[in-house]
Structure 1
Amino acid sequence: MKTALLFGSSGLVGGHLLNQLIKDTNYSKIKLFVRSDAEISDPKVDIIKTDFNSLENHKEDIKGDDCFFCIGTTKHNSPDKDDYRRVELEIPKEVAQIAKSNLVNSFIFVSALYANPKSSGEYIRFKGQVEEELKELNFPKLAILRPSFLIGDRKEKRVSEMIGIFVFKLLSPLLLGPLKKMKPIHSETVAKAMIRTANENLEKNIFESNEIDELVLN
């Protein structure tokens, strides 16, 4: 029986991931790292109120078998450039470094479509830089998932994303070959794929959006 470390349980993917981890018999304990008190009561869940500006103080907590990281933000929610950079770049890198030092076996990271450390866009560049850091840390098992537009019930409505999902749903039949990875994907599918990558020995560690879908269907 394993211990899961979960960062980002309040998000679209993280919410589904938490529910699935609770049901998954591979896990006897789930450490939930949250900024504020979480409204959940389950014997498997250990809620750890976390100061993300002082993660070293939680080094003893960041111990377990599989670390699932799906924290993210938007420019709207983090208008301050330094805060945005910290959430998207510094926090995932720091969590991964601590997890590695504590001999956590696997790190499962939700990245982004077209993640690239040399991109001119901050969001894509930060995701790409985190990916590079994760590769250098040499976890025994690493999975990087790059979902396209996420389908699901968000607590907040993102108009631009809703328009994007609508447009790409219409275009989905035309998205073939290398364009398949642009098709919208359900957040629950991403969560299921994260658990599968942590519990199976797969031949690769980077999964584009269409490959995430295939992981769950196979």
Structure 2
Amino acid sequence: MKTALLFGSSGLVGGHLLNQLIKDTNYSKIKLFVRSVPEISDPKVEIIKTNFNNLENHKEDIKGDDCFFCIGTTKKNSPVKDEYRRVELDIPREIAKIAKSNLVNSFIFVSALYANPKSSGEYIRFKGQVEEELKELNFPKLGIMRPSFLIGNRKEKRASETIGIFVFKLLSPLLLGPLKKMKPIHSETVAKAMIAVIQKDIQQTIFESNEIVEINKSHIVKKNLAELF
């Protein structure tokens, strides 16, 4: 039985991921690293109130088998430039380094569509820089998920994202070939695929949005066949 480490359980993908991990019999413990204690009661869940400004204090807590990182922010929620950089760049790489030093086997990271360390846009650039640093750490299993527009029930509404999803839903039939990765994707699909990447023998590190969908489909088929036989 394994221990999962989950960062970002209150977010759109993280919330679904927590539910999937609770149901997954491969995991006997789920460590939640949170700023504020959530209202959740499950024997598998261990809540760790975390000081993200001093992660070294939690070095002994960041121990387990598989680490799932879903933390992210927006310019609206983190208007101070240094804080935005810390959430999107510094925190994920600090946690990854600690996890690696503690011999955590897998690190699954929610990145972004078109992540690029040389991009002029901070969001895309920071995600790309984290991706590069994760590769250098040489985890036995590394999964980098690059979802497109996320569909799901957000706690806060983002007007620009809502419009983007609506437009791309209309355009979806036309998004073929290399443009398939731009189709909106459900947040639950991303969460399920994050676990599937660990459980399947996939020799791949970066998963574009359309590939995330395919991983989830094939994993469901394989699981259903296993249950039949």
TM over 0.5, shorter chain: yes
Q: CA deviation at 1:214?
A: 0.4
Query: How many angstroms apart in 1 are the aligned matches of 2:199 and 2:63?
Result: 17
Partner residue of 1:16? 16
Query: How many angstroms apart in 2 are the aligned matches of 1:200 and 1:34?
Result: 28
Q: CA deviation at 1:56?
A: 0.2
Q: CA offsets, 1:121-169, max 9 Å, x none?
A: 0000000000000000000000000000000000000000000000000
**Percent of counterpart pairs with the same letter?**
85
Secondary structure in structure 1 of the residue aligned to 2:72: coil
Partner residue of 1:57? 57
Q: CA deviation at 1:175?
A: 0.2
Query: How many angstroms apart in 2 are the aligned matches of 1:207 and 1:34?
Result: 26
- The runs of 5 or more residues in structure 1 that have no matched partner are none
Query: How many angstroms apart in 1 are the aligned matches of 2:157 and 2:73?
Result: 13
Q: CA deviation at 1:198?
A: 1.6
1:74 paired to 2:53: no
Query: How many angstroms apart in 1 are the aligned matches of 2:204 and 2:133?
Result: 17
- The runs of 5 or more residues in structure 2 that have no matched partner are 219-229
Partner residue of 2:130? 130
Partner residue of 1:33? 33
TM value normalised by structure 2: 0.95
Q: CA deviation at 1:200?
A: 1.8
Q: CA offsets, 1:90-140, max 9 Å, x none?
A: 000000000000000000000000000000000000000000000000000
* RMSD value, Cα: 0.4
1:165 paired to 2:165: yes
Q: How many aligned positions are there?
A: 218
Secondary structure in structure 2 of the residue aligned to 1:118: coil
TM value normalised by structure 1: 1.00
Residue 216 of structure 2 aligns to which amino acid in structure 1?
A: V
Partner residue of 1:201? 201
Query: How many angstroms apart in 2 are the aligned matches of 1:105 and 1:47?
Result: 21
Q: CA deviation at 1:203?
A: 1.6
